[in-house]
Chain A
Amino acid sequence: MKPLILQGHERSITQIKYNREGDILISCAKDADANVWYSVNGERLGTLSGSKGTIWTIDIDWMTTRILTGHADGKLKMWDITNGTTLSDIPTFSNSAVRTCGFSYSANLAAYSNDDTMGMKCCLSVLDVRNADSTTSAEPVVKMQVTEQSGKITSLLWGNLDQYIITGHVRGDICTWDLRMGRELENISAHAKEPINDMQFSKDATMFITASKDNTAKLFTTHDRQLLKTYTTERPVNSAALSPILPHVVLGGGQEAREVTTTSTKVGKFDARLYHLIFEEEFARIKGHFGPINSLAFHPDGRSYASGGEDGFVRLHNFDQAYFDYTFDV
């Protein structure tokens, strides 16, 4: 089936996500707008505009009521998805870009991190977003500073039952933060000193997959961060997602944007790659983007996936029957 191509951004896509049910797809890009789409037909529901500068990160709560966006100008915004209005401009007390953000499981809390530029230190902050619309009490509930060795946070996941947060770092570390104690619990070196570009949960959040510039994606258990599998490619991996229904993994990435101009698209290797979750074997490639893939997401029903690329397009791919018929000999 021909993929749906969503053209709603003028510049590179930075992140895409489905809501819990999968009927809504949200995307953000370097052009300062975030878009909300119907996943079934690719129709645009609306645009969240009114900010300046790149939006690095986006998240949606489990009830599909609010959207959180993190901006390069240091702003964190909460939006009402029903009418596209800004619910709150949350002060981050920082000039540096908000790199990651995410609602907790209950969506009562949200976490975000800022870059370690403009003389700022990279911090992980947690907010109570139930009353974030009243501008008075927007102070973070917890604020924790990241160590120099790990470097800034480049990806973020809420741990089990809103008790802890897992962060991926620019120098390949995975850190775990205890919220009650307000400190770093554990720090493991996961990807050889290269940035962890993305982290995503499995359907039941018992495992998560990391995507790194070191050309690999890795699968870990959530509760004790035990390395289970490694998926190796020849190019930096920008994003990786786990199928909710099959033991499959989709990886996206490619040669870095600034090196692409000198080479043909073939060299860039911008295909999305499908790997078997357990055997770590690649079994399919999906062409499409003419630049690196920056973000990938599986539809919660596992029958389609979406990819957002450096080329500014979001592509919705529905899997054909051959994909479901394919099995590994065991």
Chain B
Amino acid sequence: MGKKNKNSDKEDRKYNADGSDEEDQNFSDEDGFVDDITDEELLGDLLAEKPKESDGVESVVIVDQLPVVEEARLAKLKQVINKLFQGYGKIVSTYYPQVEQEVEDDKGKRTVKMTKGYVFIEYDNPKSALAALEKNAHKLDKQHTLLVNLFTDFEKFANIPDEWEPPKKVDYKERPHLHHWLMEPDAYDQYSVLNQHNLCQVWLNSLPQPTLLQEKERWSDMFMVWSPLGTYLATFHMQGVQLWGGKNLERIEKFIQPGVHFIDFSPNEEYLVCFSPRVDSPNQQHLVMYDIRTGVKERSFSVEQHSMWPVFRWSKDDKFFAKIEPDKLSVYETPSFALLNKKSINITGIKDFDWSPTDNILAYWVEEDKNTPARVVLLEVPSRKELRTNNLFNVADCKIHWQKSGDYLCVKVDRYSKVKKEKGEVKYSSMYYNFEIFHMREKNIPVDSVEIKEPTHAFAWEPVGDKFAVIHGEPSNVSVSFYAVKTGQAPTLLRRLERKSANHLFWSPMGTYIVLAELRDTGTLEFVDTTDFTVMNAAEHHQATDVEWDPTGRYVISGVSLWKTKADTGYWLWSFQGKIIKRYNSPIFCQLRWRPRPTSLLSKDQVDKIKKSLKKYTPAFEAKDRQRMNKASKELIEKRRKLLTQFEELREKLRETYLAEKDERKQLRNYIDTDELEAGMEEELVEFVIKEEVTICE
């Protein structure tokens, strides 16, 4: 009561005029009343809704940095601008401010109306205006890069202080040593293990026992992902993605983007691509690219829900990334994150593409269309030069396999002899398979072909070297064939291993050794040395779902993941020769990932030199191994001794009471001592007649 403002007098009068019967009530301020309540306090909520000058202009954007044109060319400019901006919503009106100017040219001195180089575009709703901001930094031509701002931001820009305030010096924050894990003196590798209930672990694969480096519950809400060179460990959270690195895997950076399900690092770890399948607010984009070092959002894309991951594929040096779209390939460049040459490459019927792992070359293939054959094209970027085109007939499908060192490209072509169309579905029959081998390092890139008539199940290049392996054959008789690719020669069959039970191929990252695995079935693992194709060892990890080589090619992990089966989950560690090192059976095991290593800094000559003088180094390593083993067995024996003495002590005590109770025991069993087996036993001699023989003596 008593709260009054300056309007109260008026209200008073009004009540009285209404004929209110409280005529004698006085609402006027008492003498000396001081109004100490501000308007904001009383009706702050109403004031917030008070109309402002800028109201109704949320749907307006200002496009700046337009070319300055005269009246005659304005129509043309309008057309261009309309075309650019009508995609974001219905344009209600545009306004190009003009000014009269005196110009002097070949037509003489005259006054013309010139545009001021900017335009107001009004949409029918603020959402469209917001969307139109995407055209900010759009290159109209060489001289003109558009600046697009919301009209409502005008206030923001108007309020920029006139005096420049130098930014405060930020203290130098030391970054953790990101390559610390490579300093490990014994060159042990690390791996991450993801368990049920998001129990996340990082292990060091030390000898003779691995060491648990870190263990955190709910470290990640989904997966743990290493960056391609092993510098960062990425974890997934409701709010976004975090990167960890350095000595103790400290947090390096966080990227706030709700609901990220997939991420992809660029090959040199410069950029991170995050994808959220569901977004909460209309302003949020599905796919965002970040600069890893600065944590800055570089560009976002709206991508269709059901695109194949990764949506973008990166060139080897992080300079380009490309996306396939219906009948076109869009190549973008960094650091501008704009379309290369401002337009996509139109390729009718493009099906798939992939970058070379070592050069800025990409291979794509185009499907067959009535009379034109399917073709595989090697395209150089950014020159867009077609280095090689290979036409193919009767193609049902193609798979592009680059060799890791970029020396060869194999395109596996599924071909048919007959084709039938049934109810709009195309049915192929009498399939056969071609492997088109492109020799990348030779002049004009010659192509060789290998044909296999049987169904093929897997293909894999030797990561370094010039071999490839193929699993083929009917289910009852599966073979694994190894081919060698040589300069100027058709690939030669090196060896065919017949009657194998394998459905996956895993080459050692260093080449030469390969694991043939039958995953998700018997879990047969065969370790093959491809110098002479001997099976070094054949073993079994029942129902194995995963096989992973460590980055150095020394160890192999076979795993049974809880995501795929329910029983006997865990992971087993093998040497590259197929010797079992350790079995870790864990009912909660889901996924294991080795931490990758960057490529060696040693030159090829240096590596060869080390390989040659291996004999010099081995004694030292062997001594070290022996020492470790001795230490381990000593520790084990000590542990056992301790257990033994403890147990003996306890047994002695139990034995004492046992002996003390002997009389009571005897009492219970009619005074017969049954403590020892022989006690109370009477030996009885029984004679049997087994056989009766009668010999008649003469």
Q: Which residues of A contact B (CB under 8 A)?
A: 20-22, 62, 105-106, 108, 160-162, 204, 206-207, 221, 223, 228, 234, 255, 266-267, 277-279, 300-301, 328-330
Contact = CB atoms under 8 A, between A and B. Distances in A.
B641 A330 contact: yes
Contact of A206 (B641, B654, B664, B669): B654
Nearest to B668: A106
A266 B542 contact: yes
B658 A161 contact: no
B542 A267 contact: yes
A106 B657 CA distance: 19
Contact of A161 (B567, B643, B654, B664): B664
- Name which of B636, B644, B654, B657 has the most chain A CB atoms within 10 A of its CB: B654
Contacts of A20: 674
Nearest to B648: A278
- Name which of A22, A105, A108 has the most chain B CB atoms within 10 A of its CB: A105
A106 B669 contact: yes
Given A206-B654, A234-B568, A278-B647, A22 B668 contact: no
Interface residues on B, range: 20 to 34
Given A105-B665, A206-B658, A267-B568, A330 B640 contact: yes
B665 A161 contact: yes
10 tightest CB-CB pairs across the interface, nearest first? Answer: A106-B668, A206-B654, A278-B647, A204-B658, A330-B640, A278-B643, A161-B664, A105-B668, A206-B658, A279-B640
Contacts of A161: 661, 664-665, 668
Given A204-B658, A234-B568, A267-B542, A62 B644 contact: no
Contacts of A162: 668
A329 B641 CA distance: 9
A21 to B, nearest CB: 7
- Name which of B542, B568, B637, B651 has the most chain A CB atoms within 10 A of its CB: B651
Contacts of B640: 278-279, 328-330
B657 A223 contact: yes
B677 A22 contact: yes
Main secondary structure, interface of A, reads: loop
Contacts of B668: 105-106, 108, 161-162
B644 A278 contact: yes
A301 B567 CA distance: 38
A228 B649 CA distance: 12
A300 B647 contact: no
Main secondary structure, interface of B, reads: helix
A105 B662 CA distance: 13
A62 B674 contact: yes
A330 B669 contact: no
B655 A206 contact: yes
B585 interface: yes
14 contacts: A62-B669, A161-B661, A161-B665, A204-B654, A206-B655, A221-B654, A228-B650, A234-B568, A266-B542, A267-B543, A278-B643, A300-B677, A328-B640, A329-B637
Contacts of B644: 278, 330
B681 interface: yes
A234 B543 CA distance: 15
A207 B657 CA distance: 12
Contacts of A277: 647
B670 to A, nearest CB: 8
A207 B654 contact: yes
A267 B544 CA distance: 12
Given A279-B640, A330-B640, A21 B657 contact: no
Interface in B623-672: 633, 636-637, 640-641, 643-644, 647, 650-651, 654-655, 657-658, 661, 664-665, 668-669
B569 to A, nearest CB: 10
B585 A234 contact: yes
Nearest to A205: B658
B468 to A, nearest CB: 33
A146 B669 CA distance: 30
A21 B677 contact: yes
A129 to B, nearest CB: 14
A255 B567 CA distance: 10
Contacts of B658: 204, 206
A105 B669 contact: yes
Nearest to A223: B657
